[in-house]
Amino acid sequence: MTARIIDFLNTRRPEGPCLVVDLDVVRENFLAFAHALPDTRIFYAVKANPAPEVLRLLASLGSCFDCASVAEIDMALAAGATPDRISYGNTIKKERDIAAAFQRGISLYSVDCDVEVEKVARAAPGMRVFCRILCDGAGAEWPLSRKFGCEPEMAVGVLEHAQRLGLRAYGISFHVGSQQGNTEAWDGALASAAGIFETLAERGIQLSMVNLGGGFPTRYLKEVPGVESYGSSIDQALKRHFGNRIPETIIEPGRGMVGNAGIIKSEVVLISKKSDREDDPRWVYLDIGKFGGLAETMDESIRYPIRTSHDGDATAPVILAGPTCDSADVLYEKTPYHLPVTLSIGDEVLIEGTGAYTTTYSAVAFNGFEPLASYVI
């Protein structure tokens, strides 16, 4: 919570649930990444929060952009980024979208299989590709599936295939899982990347780049290591596995760039119980839920800090749910939150750390509810 956000909410009094993002915090986060990893290029993950004001600020600071679609590429270009500062980082692309990116001057593409390589070779001839490899994501609060990437052994063949088809086999990428709390999580993936570099060098292909992905956390209910700790661990791992031949590196922060810059203002719609038993917890229904932008509460993976005007009063466990006519719209039930017993219908609730993956996850009109409003200050 920043003074600027508090002042905005107190003076503007926006209606309905809304996200407020403080650009000063985004700026501080970018500079912290640049200081912690001075030799690494920053590619902001546009999907985390594509607000034009956020993109324009980051473009002005010299950020590059990791884009998952042609629409995101256009957003980055509109914000002032040049094509050489944009990566088409989705491994699942329609060939016509690759062609559209190529027409816009994009020269860097992600792949993880021979078939995707062939699409890039046809639609964006001669461009650079990097191959994403799988890693386990241990230690992440939002672990990733096996949807993206291939086994390290397979990556060698994928990049050889790219080279044969006239593309430039440029590097390796991986993602250690979102909200990664283990600063050493990059070590194993870097060991795999170094092995691929060595194998391909023996076959006459010189890779140049390691994409370290994202995973850098923001603070929710518990403390997380600072970005300097991640920078130090990554630097040590690079030296350990690559020695004096350190490759070009890039990172793709999303949550770590904008997560702590945002607050969602919500309202209590209903407080009720399911029985007359004294030990039965209250249900607190908010005017925002999983379908309104809090999708990352799925399986209670991300547990947001919640503030009320009654903080300091006695508390009791509650089950938190959203307003929609869908039984899946329950935020926290397995591990109930403790909220003030004085909390009442109509009270405002502030949900912290919501600058990332909220507006972009908000449904268009489920049950007729408007998408999550956003204000960038």
Spatial separation of the C-alpha atoms in residues 263 and 14, rounded to whole Å: 13
| Closest of 113, 114, 103, 109 to residue 86, by C-alpha | 109
Instruction: List the catalytic residues.
Output: 325
Exposure string for 3-20, b = 16+ CB within 10 A, e = fewer: eebeebbeeeeeeebbbb
Q: Tell me, what amino acid is at 371?
A: P
Q: Are 313 and 295 within 8 A, CB to CB?
A: no
Question: Residues 315, 316, 319, 323: is their CA dihedral positive or negative?
Answer: negative
Rounded Cα distance between 185 and 93, Å, is 28
